[in-house]
Amino acid sequence: MAMQTHAGDPGAFRDFDLNRVPSPCFVVDEARLEQNLRVLADIQDRSGATVLCALKAFSMWDLAPLVSRYLSGVCASGLWEARLGREHYGGIVETFSAGYKADEMADIIALSDHIVFNTPAAKDRFLPMIRESGRAVHIGLRFNPGLPMGEDAKYDPAAPGSRLGTPLDQIDADALKGVDGLHMHTLCEQDLEPLLAIWDHIAPRIKELAPHLKWINFGGGHHITRTDYDREGLIAFLIRVRAETGLHCYLEPGEAVALDAGILVGEVLDVVENDGPNAILDISATCHMPDVIEAPYRPALMGEAGDIKLRLGGPSCLAGDVIGRYAFEQTPEIGARVAFLDQAHYSMVKTTTFNGVRLPALAVWNSTTDALRILREFDYQDFKGRLS
Ligand SMILES: Cc1ncc(COP(=O)(O)O)c(C=O)c1O
Protein backbone atom coordinates (compact mmCIF):
# COMPACT_ATOMS: atom_id res chain seq x y z
CA MET A 1 0.00 0.00 0.00
CA ALA A 2 1.29 3.47 -0.90
CA MET A 3 2.24 5.69 2.02
CA GLN A 4 0.17 8.85 2.15
CA THR A 5 2.35 11.92 2.19
CA HIS A 6 1.74 14.09 5.28
CA ALA A 7 2.67 17.26 3.43
CA GLY A 8 1.10 18.72 0.33
CA ASP A 9 0.30 22.33 1.08
CA PRO A 10 0.98 24.37 -2.07
CA GLY A 11 1.49 27.51 0.03
CA ALA A 12 2.67 30.40 -2.12
CA PHE A 13 3.28 28.09 -5.09
CA ARG A 14 -0.47 28.37 -5.74
CA ASP A 15 0.34 31.73 -7.39
CA PHE A 16 3.55 30.70 -9.15
CA ASP A 17 3.42 30.69 -12.96
CA LEU A 18 4.84 27.27 -13.87
CA ASN A 19 5.89 28.59 -17.30
CA ARG A 20 8.54 30.82 -15.75
CA VAL A 21 11.00 27.91 -15.41
CA PRO A 22 12.48 25.36 -17.82
CA SER A 23 10.92 21.90 -17.65
CA PRO A 24 11.53 19.76 -15.70
CA CYS A 25 12.66 21.95 -12.80
CA PHE A 26 12.86 21.86 -9.02
CA VAL A 27 11.76 25.24 -7.68
CA VAL A 28 12.49 26.05 -4.03
CA ASP A 29 10.73 28.94 -2.30
CA GLU A 30 13.40 30.52 -0.14
CA ALA A 31 10.78 32.44 1.87
CA ARG A 32 9.07 29.19 2.85
CA LEU A 33 12.46 27.64 3.63
CA GLU A 34 13.22 30.59 5.91
CA GLN A 35 9.87 30.10 7.66
CA ASN A 36 10.86 26.48 8.42
CA LEU A 37 14.32 27.57 9.56
CA ARG A 38 12.78 30.11 11.96
CA VAL A 39 10.71 27.34 13.56
CA LEU A 40 13.81 25.18 14.00
CA ALA A 41 15.88 28.10 15.32
CA ASP A 42 13.15 28.81 17.86
CA ILE A 43 13.32 25.20 19.08
CA GLN A 44 17.07 25.61 19.38
CA ASP A 45 16.87 28.95 21.23
CA ARG A 46 14.18 27.95 23.70
CA SER A 47 15.37 24.39 24.44
CA GLY A 48 19.13 24.99 24.53
CA ALA A 49 19.57 22.08 22.10
CA THR A 50 21.66 22.28 18.94
CA VAL A 51 19.90 21.78 15.59
CA LEU A 52 21.86 20.65 12.52
CA CYS A 53 20.61 20.35 8.93
CA ALA A 54 20.82 16.81 7.49
CA LEU A 55 22.47 17.32 4.11
CA LYS A 56 21.32 13.90 2.90
CA ALA A 57 17.78 15.33 2.73
CA PHE A 58 18.45 18.84 1.52
CA SER A 59 21.78 20.04 0.22
CA MET A 60 20.91 22.84 -2.21
CA TRP A 61 24.09 24.63 -1.30
CA ASP A 62 23.13 27.86 -3.03
CA LEU A 63 20.90 28.33 0.01
CA ALA A 64 23.62 27.33 2.51
CA PRO A 65 24.07 30.92 3.77
CA LEU A 66 20.34 31.08 4.59
CA VAL A 67 20.40 27.68 6.34
CA SER A 68 23.51 28.67 8.28
CA ARG A 69 21.91 31.91 9.48
CA TYR A 70 19.43 29.86 11.53
CA LEU A 71 20.92 26.42 12.25
CA SER A 72 24.16 25.48 14.01
CA GLY A 73 25.69 23.38 11.25
CA VAL A 74 25.12 20.24 9.25
CA CYS A 75 25.16 16.50 9.58
CA ALA A 76 26.90 14.62 6.80
CA SER A 77 26.63 11.00 5.69
CA GLY A 78 30.25 10.65 4.70
CA LEU A 79 33.23 12.39 3.13
CA TRP A 80 31.55 14.25 0.30
CA GLU A 81 28.70 15.69 2.32
CA ALA A 82 31.20 16.63 5.04
CA ARG A 83 33.22 18.48 2.42
CA LEU A 84 30.13 20.25 1.08
CA GLY A 85 29.22 21.18 4.65
CA ARG A 86 32.67 22.60 5.37
CA GLU A 87 32.95 24.44 2.04
CA HIS A 88 29.54 26.08 2.02
CA TYR A 89 27.86 25.99 5.42
CA GLY A 90 28.93 27.53 8.71
CA GLY A 91 29.13 25.92 12.13
CA ILE A 92 29.46 22.29 13.10
CA VAL A 93 30.08 19.47 10.63
CA GLU A 94 28.97 16.15 12.12
CA THR A 95 29.67 13.01 10.13
CA PHE A 96 28.02 9.65 10.56
CA SER A 97 28.46 6.73 8.23
CA ALA A 98 27.52 3.11 8.87
CA GLY A 99 30.93 2.21 7.41
CA TYR A 100 34.05 4.33 6.92
CA LYS A 101 36.73 3.58 4.35
CA ALA A 102 40.21 3.78 5.85
CA ASP A 103 41.53 5.82 2.92
CA GLU A 104 38.89 8.51 3.49
CA MET A 105 39.34 8.89 7.22
CA ALA A 106 42.15 11.47 7.18
CA ASP A 107 39.94 13.83 5.14
CA ILE A 108 36.87 13.11 7.26
CA ILE A 109 38.88 13.96 10.40
CA ALA A 110 40.11 17.20 8.83
CA LEU A 111 36.56 18.23 7.86
CA SER A 112 34.47 17.08 10.84
CA ASP A 113 33.81 18.42 14.33
CA HIS A 114 31.88 15.31 15.34
CA ILE A 115 32.50 11.82 13.97
CA VAL A 116 29.90 9.23 14.90
CA PHE A 117 30.71 5.53 14.60
CA ASN A 118 28.24 2.71 14.10
CA THR A 119 30.12 0.22 16.28
CA PRO A 120 32.63 0.34 19.16
CA ALA A 121 35.03 -1.66 16.94
CA ALA A 122 35.03 1.03 14.21
CA LYS A 123 35.55 3.68 16.88
CA ASP A 124 38.52 1.77 18.31
CA ARG A 125 39.99 1.29 14.82
CA PHE A 126 40.00 5.01 13.99
CA LEU A 127 40.44 6.60 17.43
CA PRO A 128 44.28 6.57 17.32
CA MET A 129 44.21 8.33 13.94
CA ILE A 130 41.86 10.99 15.29
CA ARG A 131 44.05 11.53 18.36
CA GLU A 132 47.20 11.75 16.19
CA SER A 133 45.56 14.40 14.01
CA GLY A 134 45.59 16.77 16.97
CA ARG A 135 42.07 17.95 16.07
CA ALA A 136 39.58 18.20 18.92
CA VAL A 137 36.98 16.00 17.26
CA HIS A 138 34.00 14.85 19.31
CA ILE A 139 33.57 11.09 19.10
CA GLY A 140 30.06 9.69 18.96
CA LEU A 141 28.67 6.18 19.01
CA ARG A 142 25.36 5.34 17.36
CA PHE A 143 23.16 3.13 19.46
CA ASN A 144 20.03 1.31 18.43
CA PRO A 145 17.19 1.76 20.91
CA GLY A 146 15.57 -1.43 19.62
CA LEU A 147 12.04 -0.08 19.74
CA PRO A 148 10.55 0.03 16.23
CA MET A 149 8.15 2.97 15.86
CA GLY A 150 7.73 3.19 12.08
CA GLU A 151 4.99 1.96 9.78
CA ASP A 152 7.53 0.28 7.50
CA ALA A 153 10.70 -1.64 8.44
CA LYS A 154 12.47 -0.18 5.38
CA TYR A 155 12.35 3.24 7.05
CA ASP A 156 12.88 2.03 10.61
CA PRO A 157 16.48 1.62 11.70
CA ALA A 158 15.16 0.07 14.95
CA ALA A 159 13.52 -2.81 13.07
CA PRO A 160 14.70 -6.33 14.06
CA GLY A 161 18.09 -7.24 12.61
CA SER A 162 18.97 -3.66 11.74
CA ARG A 163 22.59 -2.85 10.84
CA LEU A 164 22.19 0.75 11.98
CA GLY A 165 23.49 1.44 15.46
CA THR A 166 24.83 -0.85 18.17
CA PRO A 167 22.06 -2.33 20.34
CA LEU A 168 21.95 -0.31 23.55
CA ASP A 169 22.41 -3.39 25.74
CA GLN A 170 25.83 -3.96 24.11
CA ILE A 171 27.07 -0.52 25.15
CA ASP A 172 29.23 -0.89 28.24
CA ALA A 173 32.17 0.99 29.77
CA ASP A 174 34.57 -0.49 27.20
CA ALA A 175 32.39 0.55 24.29
CA LEU A 176 32.33 4.11 25.66
CA LYS A 177 36.13 4.50 25.91
CA GLY A 178 36.99 7.76 24.14
CA VAL A 179 33.34 8.49 23.40
CA ASP A 180 31.87 11.97 24.02
CA GLY A 181 28.29 11.33 23.03
CA LEU A 182 25.62 8.90 21.93
CA HIS A 183 23.67 9.17 18.70
CA MET A 184 20.41 7.56 17.62
CA HIS A 185 18.28 7.91 14.53
CA THR A 186 15.17 5.78 14.18
CA LEU A 187 12.30 8.12 13.32
CA CYS A 188 10.82 9.05 9.94
CA GLU A 189 8.21 11.81 9.43
CA GLN A 190 7.11 11.35 13.04
CA ASP A 191 5.31 13.37 15.67
CA LEU A 192 6.64 13.86 19.18
CA GLU A 193 4.97 10.81 20.76
CA PRO A 194 7.30 8.17 19.22
CA LEU A 195 10.32 10.12 20.47
CA LEU A 196 8.82 10.26 23.96
CA ALA A 197 8.08 6.51 23.83
CA ILE A 198 11.67 5.76 22.80
CA TRP A 199 12.96 7.99 25.59
CA ASP A 200 10.84 6.14 28.18
CA HIS A 201 12.32 2.91 26.84
CA ILE A 202 15.99 4.02 26.91
CA ALA A 203 16.08 6.59 29.73
CA PRO A 204 17.09 4.21 32.57
CA ARG A 205 20.16 3.01 30.63
CA ILE A 206 21.05 6.46 29.26
CA LYS A 207 20.96 7.87 32.79
CA GLU A 208 23.45 5.19 33.91
CA LEU A 209 25.77 6.03 31.02
CA ALA A 210 25.33 9.81 31.14
CA PRO A 211 28.08 10.57 33.70
CA HIS A 212 30.63 9.33 31.11
CA LEU A 213 29.20 11.49 28.30
CA LYS A 214 28.71 15.10 27.17
CA TRP A 215 25.84 14.86 24.71
CA ILE A 216 23.08 12.86 23.10
CA ASN A 217 21.97 13.27 19.48
CA PHE A 218 18.36 12.29 18.69
CA GLY A 219 18.95 12.16 14.91
CA GLY A 220 16.32 13.18 12.37
CA GLY A 221 12.81 12.12 11.44
CA HIS A 222 11.14 14.75 13.64
CA HIS A 223 8.45 16.46 11.54
CA ILE A 224 8.90 19.67 13.53
CA THR A 225 7.83 22.15 10.86
CA ARG A 226 4.50 20.46 10.21
CA THR A 227 1.84 22.77 11.65
CA ASP A 228 0.38 20.11 13.95
CA TYR A 229 3.72 19.00 15.44
CA ASP A 230 3.84 19.49 19.21
CA ARG A 231 6.75 21.95 19.30
CA GLU A 232 6.15 23.08 22.88
CA GLY A 233 6.24 19.42 23.91
CA LEU A 234 9.55 18.95 22.09
CA ILE A 235 11.09 21.97 23.83
CA ALA A 236 9.90 20.66 27.21
CA PHE A 237 11.31 17.21 26.38
CA LEU A 238 14.75 18.56 25.41
CA ILE A 239 14.91 20.68 28.57
CA ARG A 240 13.92 17.63 30.64
CA VAL A 241 16.58 15.38 29.08
CA ARG A 242 19.20 18.02 29.84
CA ALA A 243 17.96 18.39 33.42
CA GLU A 244 17.76 14.64 34.08
CA THR A 245 21.02 13.59 32.43
CA GLY A 246 23.22 16.69 32.17
CA LEU A 247 23.65 15.89 28.47
CA HIS A 248 23.54 18.51 25.75
CA CYS A 249 20.93 17.56 23.13
CA TYR A 250 21.34 17.58 19.36
CA LEU A 251 18.73 17.15 16.64
CA GLU A 252 19.51 16.70 12.95
CA PRO A 253 16.31 17.02 10.94
CA GLY A 254 16.44 16.96 7.16
CA GLU A 255 12.92 16.76 5.82
CA ALA A 256 11.66 19.30 8.37
CA VAL A 257 14.14 21.88 7.03
CA ALA A 258 12.69 21.84 3.52
CA LEU A 259 9.15 20.61 4.21
CA ASP A 260 6.70 22.03 1.65
CA ALA A 261 9.42 24.40 0.42
CA GLY A 262 9.76 23.12 -3.14
CA ILE A 263 7.93 21.76 -6.16
CA LEU A 264 8.93 19.72 -9.18
CA VAL A 265 7.57 21.28 -12.37
CA GLY A 266 7.11 19.20 -15.51
CA GLU A 267 5.10 19.09 -18.68
CA VAL A 268 2.89 16.71 -20.61
CA LEU A 269 4.63 15.12 -23.62
CA ASP A 270 1.92 12.77 -24.87
CA VAL A 271 -1.27 10.91 -23.89
CA VAL A 272 -1.71 7.16 -24.42
CA GLU A 273 -5.20 5.64 -24.16
CA ASN A 274 -5.19 2.20 -22.56
CA ASP A 275 -7.95 1.44 -20.09
CA GLY A 276 -8.09 5.21 -19.51
CA PRO A 277 -5.68 7.97 -20.38
CA ASN A 278 -1.97 7.82 -19.48
CA ALA A 279 -0.12 11.12 -19.70
CA ILE A 280 3.61 10.85 -20.36
CA LEU A 281 5.50 13.60 -18.56
CA ASP A 282 9.09 14.81 -18.78
CA ILE A 283 9.19 13.99 -15.05
CA SER A 284 10.13 10.40 -14.30
CA ALA A 285 9.31 8.73 -11.01
CA THR A 286 12.36 6.49 -11.25
CA CYS A 287 14.80 9.26 -12.27
CA HIS A 288 13.44 12.29 -10.43
CA MET A 289 11.23 11.14 -7.55
CA PRO A 290 12.51 7.61 -6.80
CA ASP A 291 10.77 7.53 -3.40
CA VAL A 292 7.47 7.39 -5.29
CA ILE A 293 8.48 3.85 -6.27
CA GLU A 294 10.74 2.97 -3.35
CA ALA A 295 8.54 4.07 -0.44
CA PRO A 296 6.11 3.88 -2.27
CA TYR A 297 4.03 7.04 -1.99
CA ARG A 298 1.78 9.24 -4.09
CA PRO A 299 3.07 12.81 -4.32
CA ALA A 300 0.42 15.53 -4.19
CA LEU A 301 -0.26 17.29 -7.50
CA MET A 302 -0.73 21.04 -7.33
CA GLY A 303 -4.29 22.15 -7.98
CA GLU A 304 -5.67 18.65 -8.40
CA ALA A 305 -9.42 18.83 -9.16
CA GLY A 306 -12.00 17.50 -11.62
CA ASP A 307 -13.65 14.32 -12.86
CA ILE A 308 -11.15 13.17 -15.46
CA LYS A 309 -8.67 10.66 -14.06
CA LEU A 310 -5.27 10.35 -15.72
CA ARG A 311 -2.34 8.12 -14.89
CA LEU A 312 0.83 10.22 -14.90
CA GLY A 313 4.10 8.53 -15.76
CA GLY A 314 7.62 9.21 -16.94
CA PRO A 315 9.33 8.93 -20.32
CA SER A 316 11.61 6.05 -19.27
CA CYS A 317 11.38 2.41 -20.39
CA LEU A 318 10.40 1.21 -16.91
CA ALA A 319 6.80 -0.05 -16.95
CA GLY A 320 6.55 0.93 -13.32
CA ASP A 321 7.66 4.51 -13.96
CA VAL A 322 4.20 5.63 -12.89
CA ILE A 323 3.68 8.53 -10.51
CA GLY A 324 0.02 7.86 -9.81
CA ARG A 325 -3.54 8.51 -10.88
CA TYR A 326 -4.67 12.13 -10.68
CA ALA A 327 -7.83 14.14 -11.29
CA PHE A 328 -8.03 16.84 -13.95
CA GLU A 329 -10.84 19.20 -15.08
CA GLN A 330 -10.01 18.34 -18.69
CA THR A 331 -7.45 16.20 -20.49
CA PRO A 332 -4.29 18.33 -20.43
CA GLU A 333 -2.88 19.66 -23.71
CA ILE A 334 0.54 18.58 -24.90
CA GLY A 335 2.98 21.01 -23.28
CA ALA A 336 0.69 21.73 -20.31
CA ARG A 337 2.61 22.27 -17.11
CA VAL A 338 2.07 20.28 -13.90
CA ALA A 339 3.78 20.45 -10.50
CA PHE A 340 4.23 17.94 -7.70
CA LEU A 341 4.29 19.35 -4.20
CA ASP A 342 6.82 18.95 -1.41
CA GLN A 343 9.74 17.86 -3.59
CA ALA A 344 12.58 19.95 -2.11
CA HIS A 345 13.78 17.24 0.27
CA TYR A 346 15.14 13.86 -0.84
CA SER A 347 13.86 14.01 -4.46
CA MET A 348 16.50 16.54 -5.52
CA VAL A 349 19.39 14.64 -3.95
CA LYS A 350 18.30 11.26 -5.32
CA THR A 351 17.95 11.99 -9.04
CA THR A 352 19.57 9.77 -11.66
CA THR A 353 20.03 9.92 -15.44
CA PHE A 354 18.71 6.40 -16.14
CA ASN A 355 17.69 6.16 -19.83
CA GLY A 356 19.57 9.44 -20.37
CA VAL A 357 16.55 11.28 -19.00
CA ARG A 358 17.36 14.94 -18.42
CA LEU A 359 17.93 16.03 -14.84
CA PRO A 360 15.54 18.73 -13.62
CA ALA A 361 16.92 22.27 -13.59
CA LEU A 362 17.32 23.90 -10.18
CA ALA A 363 15.66 27.22 -9.39
CA VAL A 364 15.13 29.41 -6.35
CA TRP A 365 12.05 31.59 -6.11
CA ASN A 366 11.26 34.06 -3.37
CA SER A 367 7.51 34.15 -2.79
CA THR A 368 7.83 37.43 -0.89
CA THR A 369 9.74 39.41 -3.54
CA ASP A 370 8.78 37.22 -6.54
CA ALA A 371 12.48 37.12 -7.55
CA LEU A 372 13.39 33.99 -9.52
CA ARG A 373 16.88 32.60 -10.08
CA ILE A 374 17.55 29.65 -12.37
CA LEU A 375 20.65 28.20 -10.72
CA ARG A 376 21.48 25.34 -13.00
CA GLU A 377 20.32 23.53 -16.11
CA PHE A 378 21.72 20.10 -16.92
CA ASP A 379 22.75 18.85 -20.34
CA TYR A 380 24.26 15.90 -22.17
CA GLN A 381 27.66 16.46 -20.53
CA ASP A 382 26.18 15.83 -17.09
CA PHE A 383 24.83 12.48 -18.27
CA LYS A 384 28.03 11.53 -20.11
CA GLY A 385 30.25 12.71 -17.26
CA ARG A 386 28.95 9.99 -14.95
CA LEU A 387 29.97 7.29 -17.40
CA SER A 388 33.05 6.46 -19.40
C1 LIG B 1 21.57 9.57 10.69
C2 LIG B 1 20.48 10.42 10.12
N3 LIG B 1 20.30 11.67 10.58
C4 LIG B 1 19.33 12.47 10.09
C5 LIG B 1 18.49 12.05 9.09
C6 LIG B 1 17.42 12.98 8.57
O7 LIG B 1 16.15 12.47 8.74
P8 LIG B 1 14.86 13.28 8.26
O9 LIG B 1 15.13 13.82 6.92
O10 LIG B 1 13.79 12.25 8.26
O11 LIG B 1 14.64 14.35 9.28
C12 LIG B 1 18.62 10.73 8.59
C13 LIG B 1 17.73 10.24 7.52
O14 LIG B 1 17.82 9.15 7.03
C15 LIG B 1 19.65 9.91 9.11
O16 LIG B 1 19.85 8.66 8.64
3-state secondary structure of 4: strand
Q: What is the pLDDT of residue 75?
A: 98
| Confidence grade of residue 355 (pLDDT, cut at 50, 70, 90) | very high
Residue nearest to atom 16 of ligand 1 (CA): 185
Distance 253 CA to ligand 1 centre (A): 6
Distance 118 CA to ligand 1 centre (A): 15
Asked if 208 and 287 sit in the same domain, the reply is: no
Domain coverage including residue 358: 3-27+261-384
**Which helix (H) or strand (E) covers residue 127, if one does?**
helix 120-133
For residue 67, give the CATH number of its domain.
Answer: 3.20.20.10
Q: Is residue 316 part of a domain?
A: yes
- Ligand 1 atom nearest the C-alpha of 345 is 9
pLDDT at 338 over 80: yes
Q: DSSP secondary structure string, 331-368?
A: PPPTT-EEEESS-TTTTGGG---GGGPPPPEEEEE-TT
Which of 258, 274, 294 represents a domain boundary (last residue)? 258
| Confidence grade of residue 8 (pLDDT, cut at 50, 70, 90) | low
Q: Is residue 37 part of a domain?
A: no
Q: Which long-range contacts (CB under 8 A, 24 or more apart) does 78-83 make?
A: 78/104, 78/108, 79/104, 79/107, 79/108, 79/111, 81/55, 81/56, 82/107, 82/108, 82/111, 82/112, 83/107, 83/111
Q: Is residue 42 part of a domain?
A: no
| Confidence grade of residue 152 (pLDDT, cut at 50, 70, 90) | confident
Q: Are 53 and 253 a contacting pair, CB within 8 Å?
A: yes
Q: Is residue 43 part of a domain?
A: no
Asked if 248 and 266 sit in the same domain, the reply is: no
Asked if 113 and 20 sit in the same domain, the reply is: no
Distance 57 CA to ligand 1 centre (A): 7
Counting the structural domains of the chain, the total is 2
pLDDT at 184 over 60: yes
Asked if 69 and 195 sit in the same domain, the reply is: yes
pLDDT at 41 over 50: yes
Asked if 340 and 370 sit in the same domain, the reply is: yes
Asked if 235 and 170 sit in the same domain, the reply is: yes
Q: What is the pLDDT of residue 361?
A: 99
pLDDT at 206 over 50: yes
pLDDT at 254 over 70: yes
| Confidence grade of residue 9 (pLDDT, cut at 50, 70, 90) | confident
Which of 234, 258, 282 represents a domain boundary (last residue)? 258
Q: Is residue 158 part of a domain?
A: yes
**What percent of the chain is modeled with pLDDT above 70?**
98
pLDDT at 196 over 60: yes
| Confidence grade of residue 150 (pLDDT, cut at 50, 70, 90) | confident
Q: Which of 55, 56, 342 should be mutated for ligand 1, with most atoms under 8 A from CB? A: 56
Which of 258, 285, 306 represents a domain boundary (last residue)? 258
Asked if 122 and 216 sit in the same domain, the reply is: yes
> Which residues approach ligand 1 with their CB closer than 6 A?
54, 56-57, 75, 96, 185, 188, 219-221, 252-256
Q: Is residue 60 part of a domain?
A: yes
Q: What is the pLDDT of residue 4?
A: 53
Residue nearest to atom 5 of ligand 1 (CA): 220
| Confidence grade of residue 86 (pLDDT, cut at 50, 70, 90) | very high
100 DSSP 8-state letter = -
* Mean pLDDT computed over every residue of the chain: 96
Distance 333 CA to ligand 1 centre (A): 39
Asked if 169 and 283 sit in the same domain, the reply is: no
Q: Say how far apart CA 43 and CA 240 lie, in whole Å.
A: 14
- Per-residue pLDDT averaged across 198-202, rounded? 98
Q: What is the pLDDT of residue 151?
A: 81
172 is in an annotated binding site: no
- Per-residue pLDDT averaged across 61-66, rounded? 98
For residue 266, give the CATH number of its domain.
Answer: 2.40.37.10
169 is in an annotated binding site: no
Asked if 223 and 266 sit in the same domain, the reply is: no
| Confidence grade of residue 3 (pLDDT, cut at 50, 70, 90) | low
Asked if 146 and 228 sit in the same domain, the reply is: yes
Q: Is residue 329 part of a domain?
A: yes
Q: Is residue 128 part of a domain?
A: yes
- Ligand 1 atom nearest the C-alpha of 255 is 9
Asked if 177 and 320 sit in the same domain, the reply is: no
pLDDT at 2 over 90: no
- Per-residue pLDDT averaged across 239-257, rounded? 98
pLDDT at 180 over 90: yes
Asked if 371 and 241 sit in the same domain, the reply is: no
Q: Say how far apart CA 284 and CA 323 lie, in whole Å.
A: 8
pLDDT at 7 over 80: no
Q: Are 299 and 326 a contacting pair, CB within 8 Å?
A: no
3-state secondary structure of 68: helix
